[in-house]
Structure 1
């Protein structure tokens, strides 16, 4: 490689090279005066007789020998080929060496800027190509030159017209990518497109990068921390699956506490949108255990941010947790009883006073006992401590009462609560039947009173020989008498009802056993 770079540029000059210049250890044999004609910085070093410094003039610049080869060729008057891949490095070198038109007309810095404006910035793809190859040191120089703002403004302008272009930026260096997303968000670029781009960037540099190299892990940690900073906090803006996976990676990569906390808060805001499988992926560790403390932290955060007006979120989380407990027991053959119990206690606490039935908890217990047939009776009882028999549906009670895997004590509890369920159901049915019967009797009494009133009014029409005054007085008398009879008849009806049930005082449940007698007759009918 050294021969290649030492021969070509200086062949234009018949004199022997008088400068050995090194770029990343690669020597270039050049002529000082030739470089000085194009570079004000080289001129200054020669005038100050700083030859040693001149030899390593580019040691602080992270440029490759190929880039400097182009610069040297330009100094010797040879044709150079600029491209999107080398334009940034050429610009930075020519700026550093002060190759401007003030020092020499039609100099390299001016040519490079012209190429950038006309051939690179006009195209989204060429702009991305130019930025893709930039190292951190080159980016530092770009910042000094003011090129970062130029590139960002160009990309943001194009992204505003077509937000879908943001998904093409996953190959950019993190430093550039983060600046670009921040700048795009300031200009009201579609949030959906920003989130899609951020998620794709994380997949490219974190989730799909499986290398265990220390430098790679460090870069992944930097990326996941940047991802957390860039993601919006709005509920539902990011999928639960992505948030769960990001939190798990942030823990594995030992990211900063702010990063982990940020993902936890976002998850807690939309925990009701998550699935049992999402939670299973998050909490499972490489050794097969579960991160119980993490689950407790997330649940605590969720309930602390809970809005009382939205009970449906509590129900969704409770159901999701019960499904998670079942999935954990069904998918993990090595799940220990202690771990199952610890998870189950949190699940039961979440469903308390929220769900009427907790059949999924029973299913989880059943599948755990099925997969661990060697458990002792005491271990089975420990596993069953998360089971609330009173929250089993009739169907689940029927299954549990015949389940030979359950401890006998649990089966007896199930039978007891099942009997209570049947008794309560019968009581409700009898109460409903009583209320329906009373409503029918009241309607029949009302119909009879209306018929009597109609007959009396009809008789008044037939008696036409009354005077108007007498007719009016007679009508008022009849109506008054009729109303009085109606009231007396209503009272007599209630007295008769109370007499039949043996309670002539106030008609209350405490004052009589009427509903008990009625219940016996109705019970035989339903039985």
Structure 2
């Protein structure tokens, strides 16, 4: 028999169909040919890429999908190809749907389970429509194989691609967040190590390092593997809701901040990342009990610089200014200089500081006043600033110096002097405008003397300095005159008190001596020598006018050696 006369090969029988519901659609060999719009994995947005068409038997599809069945029932001529194209999906998920409808094996993995659940949920491939349906099987696989593992959950979310929004809408993302939160509560080190921040107290630093070491030692062995999946590998649209869920789940703040810091370092050039991290940061850089800082204060300056450079939203920049202002006392003039702030931004930062200041001790206000003066000096020295901007900055610095007993504002004068020295081309009116910020009554005498001889200052300003200096000199002299009598009276009172004590002591000596002299007259013992002297006491009584006639008679009539000596001294 010739080759051309050979019989055709037998046809291969199709695979057996799965059991369907009672009211199912018959297989009619009408196919839906779909040019799939799919997303490549590990991307943040869908890209329209045309690939080889996928054939779906609409009867088999309707038997598994309540959505397709409803469409065909209401309009048998419905173009299912256009309907399926509107679904944001990946090619692999659609291929798995086709295999499942044909009764072939569907291999579920970490990478495809979330898109598969989202698509089967959209098509309503539920148990109510058909037993042993795809949605139920996919959810069982997710719960048993993916959710219990930190690594598998992160991998599955990262591979979800275009299906992420559907996962968020149908509650699948919430389920994953709860699972990750439970893992982080049992082992916070999965998020990342806390940021080690230098502290003022060495004891608190030692305690903090000790706690961090203890957490590392007692962590589970399976979590010490450095190959564990990191949340920083997720796109920001996934990362932000996960961290929000962990914050609500009371995961340790220190580890959450460690994760945020790590994520920011990895995606520092992404403006969406900067805005998301700013929203996720706690209100204060310290813990709620102010025991130790959660993250360095300078991190806010780095974020602010990046936010301005990459064009972040106005809300993000304003919020960062508010955060910086709350703890402005921790800043340095160099920190503010690096930010390259305009006048309005600096005003907002100062406003945030004073709005949130609640301390009874004004030390923080004094610190900020000194900070503003040092910052103004640095601006005058290193920045090219126009007269108007510099004057506004100087006015803000001057307003901060009105704090309690803090009166010396030499820093502002130093800044003005430097600015005038750097801009010698200014006319007299511009110099006078700048010098209006000076308050000579708040300047030290050394600064006033320097200003009086400063040739860079306008003549009118020099006259004001001399006038204020004369007033200060007059006030100082008046105060000295008023204080002198009070000081003299105090000294005189102290001296008089000492003399009165001596008067009391010597009064007793006089009484004893008078008794001795009288006894000498009665016993004719004038030849006996007196045992005590009264010269000092007589002088004191003569000084105060207390010498009586009896005292002199007794002294003059007695012929003993003591009486003669006293009489001679008295005369």
Fold similarity call, TM over 0.5: yes
CA contact (8 A) 2:366 2:403 kept: no
CA contact (8 A) 1:283 1:295 kept: no
Q: How does 1:28-427 map to 2 (within 5 A)?
A: 28-32=54-58, 35=61, 39=65, 41=67, 50=76, 52-75=78-101, 82-100=108-126, 107-134=133-160, 138-163=163-188, 165-166=190-191, 168-194=230-256, 197=259, 208-209=269-270, 224=275, 230-233=280-283, 249=307, 253=311, 255=313, 266-280=323-337, 284=341, 290=342, 292-300=343-351, 302-303=353-354, 306-307=357-358, 309-333=360-384, 335-352=385-402, 354=404, 355-397=406-448, 399-400=450-451, 403-411=454-462, 413-414=464-465
Q: Tell me: CA distance 1:424–1:250, structure 2 relative to 1, closer, same or farther (3 Å).
A: same
Segments of 5+ residues of structure 1 without an aligned counterpart are 1-10, 211-218, 285-289, 465-481, 491-527
| Separation in 2, partners of 1:359, 1:422 | 18
Q: How many residue pairs align between the two structures?
A: 440
SS in 1 for 2:89: coil
| TM-superposed deviation, 1:336 | 0.8
CA contact (8 A) 1:88 1:134 kept: yes
Q: Tell me: CA distance 1:16–1:362, structure 2 relative to 1, closer, same or farther (3 Å).
A: same
Deviations 1:79-114 (A, max 9, x none): 655443332112212333344566666654344334
Q: Tell me: CA distance 1:197–1:414, structure 2 relative to 1, closer, same or farther (3 Å).
A: farther
Q: Tell me: CA distance 1:452–1:264, structure 2 relative to 1, closer, same or farther (3 Å).
A: same
Q: Tell me: CA distance 1:294–1:364, structure 2 relative to 1, closer, same or farther (3 Å).
A: same
SS in 1 for 2:367: helix
| TM-superposed deviation, 1:154 | 0.9
Name the counterpart of 1:514: none
Q: Among 36, 49, 53, which residue is 1:23 paired with?
A: 36
CA contact (8 A) 1:277 1:324 kept: yes
Q: Tell me: CA distance 1:18–1:378, structure 2 relative to 1, closer, same or farther (3 Å).
A: closer
Compute the RMSD of aligned alpha carbons: 4.7
Name the counterpart of 1:516: none
| Separation in 2, partners of 1:448, 1:18 | 127
Q: Tell me: CA distance 1:190–1:39, structure 2 relative to 1, closer, same or farther (3 Å).
A: same
Name the counterpart of 2:196: none
| Separation in 2, partners of 1:12, 1:23 | 28
Deviations 1:423-460 (A, max 9, x none): 77788788888766654443333233223323444677
CA contact (8 A) 1:21 1:55 kept: yes
Name the counterpart of 2:569: none
SS in 2 for 1:63: coil
Deviations 1:323-350 (A, max 9, x none): 22222222212x1112111221222122
| TM-superposed deviation, 1:157 | 1.6
1:443 pairs with 2:516: no
Deviations 1:463-513 (A, max 9, x none): 79xxxxxxxxxxxxxxxxx9xx99x969xxxxxxxxxxxxxxxxxxxxxxx
| Separation in 2, partners of 1:81, 1:320 | 65
CA contact (8 A) 2:71 2:78 kept: no
SS in 2 for 1:29: strand
Name the counterpart of 2:200: none
TM-score, normalization by structure 1: 0.66
Structure with more helix by fraction: 1
Q: Which has the larger radius of gyration?
A: 2
| Separation in 2, partners of 1:314, 1:413 | 29
Q: Tell me: CA distance 1:75–1:382, structure 2 relative to 1, closer, same or farther (3 Å).
A: same
Q: Tell me: CA distance 1:240–1:407, structure 2 relative to 1, closer, same or farther (3 Å).
A: farther
CA contact (8 A) 2:33 2:54 kept: yes
SS in 1 for 2:33: strand
